[in-house]
Structure 1
Amino acid sequence: MARIALAPVLGYLIVEQYFHVSLGLFALAGATDLLDGYIARNWANQKSVLGSALDPLADKILISVLYISLTYAHLIPAPLTALVISRDVALIAAVFYVRYKTVPPPITLSKFFNPCYATAQLKPTLISKVNTAIQLVLVAASLASPVFHYTDSVFLQALWVITALTTTASGYSYYHYGKKTVEVLNNTK
């Protein structure tokens, strides 16, 4: 979960315009995510319920911090950041709602927030996976733009539009397919 720890550091470095260092740390965060996923997929004894719960949360935290920081640094437009974060907040709210509906009574805070007591699993849609990849490509391209002097590039502007479209499509896919994207693991309620 190095991404959770790196998120505020990256945010600070971006706001202070240390783009060379932030680009390197972002690459490190990506490498640790890939390694973490590889280990979890290939060694069953290394996969944990807590890790499964924290992995998507780490992604949301990292994406949110990066988009806000890059917007502050004038490298990503504010409306795009608002769209990305709004979609993530809506997804988190939906997960909390599903969690509330699937935890058997009596619902206590310790039971509700216990990641070892899984009641439902959100299955990402294909467009959501594509969207995450595009959002990360935009972050990398935005971090690299002041380093390689292409901040006013048409390439970046095209990535903004593509990111907005995939973010909207991803949010719509969860709304449209709703229950098909949620697998209830313990239907006792």
Structure 2
Amino acid sequence: MADKMLMTVLTVCLAMQGSLPVWLATIILGRDVGLGIAAIYYRWISLPPPKTFTRYWDFSLPSAEVRPTIISKYNTFLQLGLMGATMVAPVVAVDVTGAMTAFQYLVATTTVWSGLSYVFSKDAVRILSDNKDQKSKSR
């Protein structure tokens, strides 16, 4: 969660300042919004009955588990690297415009790839069930 907060604040601030292209900020934030909506959905569909607002926010009732994909881990590393490089670039004496543009396209690619990996990976989201409870009741 801390990674998401950091990336959101940095992305918004750097885009508002004009240091980060708006198209890239939209991709980064869009992916995170999409993942957030998916998390809300998976929590709801996997929550054992009765489904109430109070039970929805009771995290002692596990219902779904999201595992980060490998590309997602690389993407987080590259996004944080881009944010750092974007903040440092104005004070570097060398022209790094070409390198920064390439870095931005790399991050855009890994961000889209990472988002799609959650959609198409069978291991990214696992619905937890009460198998233990069901097995103990059947004995």
Normalising by structure 1, we get a TM-score of: 0.64
Report the counterpart of residue 30 of structure 2 in structure 1: 86
- Contact 1:99–1:119 (CA<8 Å) still a contact in 2? yes
Runs of 5+ in structure 2 lacking a partner? Answer: 132-139
SS in 1 for 2:112: helix
**Post-superposition shift, 1:134?**
0.5
- Contact 1:87–1:167 (CA<8 Å) still a contact in 2? yes
User: Structure 1: how far apart are the matches of 2:63 and 2:23?
Assistant: 35
User: Structure 1: how far apart are the matches of 2:119 and 2:56?
Assistant: 23
**Post-superposition shift, 1:97?**
0.8
User: Structure 2: how far apart are the matches of 1:133 and 1:140?
Assistant: 11
Q: What's the Cα RMSD here?
A: 1.8
Structure scoring higher RCO (CA < 8 A, sep ≥ 6) equals 2
Compared CA separation, residues 151 and 61, structure 1 to 2 (3 A): farther
Report the counterpart of residue 126 of structure 2 in structure 1: 183
Aligned length: 131
Letter of the 2:92 partner, please give it.
F
Compared CA separation, residues 150 and 106, structure 1 to 2 (3 A): farther
Letter of the 1:172 partner, please give it.
L
- Contact 1:142–1:151 (CA<8 Å) still a contact in 2? no
Compared CA separation, residues 150 and 82, structure 1 to 2 (3 A): farther
Alignment of 1:155-166 (within 5 A): 155-166=99-110
CA offsets 1:3-53 (integer angstroms, 9 cap, x no match): xxxxxxxxxxxxxxxxxxxxxxxxxxxxxxxxxxxxxxxxxxxxxxxxxxx
- Contact 1:120–1:182 (CA<8 Å) still a contact in 2? yes
Alignment of 1:32-111 (within 5 A): 57-111=1-55
**Post-superposition shift, 1:122?**
0.4
Compared CA separation, residues 110 and 158, structure 1 to 2 (3 A): same
Report the counterpart of residue 31 of structure 1 in structure 2: none
Identity %: 34
Larger Rg: 2
> Given the alignment of the two structures, is residue 125 of structure 1 paired with residue 69 of structure 2, yes or no?
yes
SS in 2 for 1:180: coil
SS in 2 for 1:105: coil
* Between structures 1 and 2, the one with greater helix share: 1
SS in 2 for 1:183: strand
User: Structure 2: how far apart are the matches of 1:116 and 1:156?
Assistant: 44
